[in-house]
Amino acid sequence: MIDPAQIKKDFPILNREKNGKTLVYLDNASTTQKPKQVIEAITNFYENTNANIHRGIYDISEEATALYEGARETTQKFINAASKSEIIFTRNTTESINLVAYTWGEKNVQKGDEIIVSMIEHHSNLLPWQFLAKKKGAHLKFIPIKDDLTLDIEEYKKLLSEKTKLVAITGMSNVLGTIAPIEEITNLAKEHGAHVLIDAAQTAAHQQIDVQKINCDFLAFSSHKMLGPTGVGVLYARQSILKKMPPFLYGGSMIAAVELDSAEFAKPPQKFEAGTSNIADVVAFKSALDYITDLTFNEIQKHEKELYKYAISELSKIEDIKLVTPPEDQAGPVITFTIKGIHPHDIAEALNSENIAIRAGKHCTDPLHKHLGLIATARISLYVYNDKQDIDRTVEALKKCIKIFA
């Protein structure tokens, strides 16, 4: 069983105090904190192995290359990709999705084609397709949500046709916590010959991902949302698709041969990793993946579900709070809410005075908030180092907030 008290010891920032109170960090859907193992991996790289990769014929360069490629292999195993060549390192989920839009999308989406996304998408999985559709004369369609805030799969089935070129869907809503049935969505898309991209930014830290089982064509996620450093994203894509995709960026490292008037590109994944990579942070990302793997997803989910149920129970006792969450069995560790008469920014500021960090705003989902008739929401998002004491402090702070504004 996960013991948050023990896990907290691995996260130096959680010792940070304000007015004699230690930090309660509940903004994990935005970014997670980093364990000392990850921090030490970054320091160790710069102190002992700092060199460019894939180029130098000297010890520390070869060691740096081995560490970097070792992180790629760990990532491959983490999501069960068929080959490490299907793993491309980017800056973040946003860049991974844009890479697909600007390469595969530009080449394959034509006038009259249709792209399906959902009403719960983060802007990162909406705007690239919105602008691609406008540029190419394609049409964007949206899977609606039901009253219980889950995706309407029956309506999705009606949207699919021979015109469907791509279905781009989040694995979990960063606002509602709604978990999408991505295998079902993928299988239905495949019946119509469509490609599928999964935005796993909110999924990769909480659920075991098996890209071969899901049968998706693309999958994107970020290191910083799963205990790793910022500035590292992952794009998984089928090898057969990568070979046909044009490069995203042009320059060093992504070529096999160059003439004054032509160039031959390297094979994937180097074809899509132009220039000097974020080497140290990729190396440290491996430490984050190892940390999660050691905890096991089975135990992570047990802990999160128990804590989620406790939080929902305690928050529901506060009369003025309105929860904006799906049914518990279809929810990830995200709890979004409003308080009557208090702007979410004021809620977040009141909690900050108690050294409790939550998120408030539209969470990069303007269309969803408009659909729900909400100007903004407050959000609590949980992870492995959170415990019931964190929830108790948050509940007391919210009660205090309501009294102040009353």
Contact of 223 with 234, CB cutoff 8 Å: yes
| Residue-wise burial string across 290-314, b where 16 or more C-beta atoms lie within 10 A, e elsewhere | bbbeeeeeeebbebbbebbeebbeb
Determine which helix (DSSP H) or strand (DSSP E) holds 344, and give its type and residue range. Answer: helix 344-352
Question: If DSSP codes are grouped into helix, strand and coil, which group holds residue 1?
Answer: coil
Going by C-beta distance under 8 Å and a sequence separation of 6 or more, which residues neighbour residue 110? 136, 137, 138, 165
* Side-chain half-sphere CA neighbours of 376 within 13 A: 12
Query: How far is residue 188's CA from residue 216's CA, in Å, rounded to a whole number?
Result: 11
How does DSSP assign 86-131, residue by residue? GEEEESSHHHHHHHHIIIIIHHH--TT-EEEEETT--GGGTHHHHH
Distances (CA, A) of 396 to 156, 337, 350: 42, 16, 11
At 82, is the secondary structure helix, strand, or coil? coil
Catalytic residue among 140, 241, 364, 376: 364
Three-state DSSP at 170 gives strand
364 is catalytic: yes
What tokens were used for 176?
Answer: 């509602």
User: Residues 6 or more apart from 44 whose CB is under 8 A from it?
Assistant: none
C-beta of residue 156 within 8 angstroms of C-beta of residue 184:
no
Which residues belong to the active site?
364
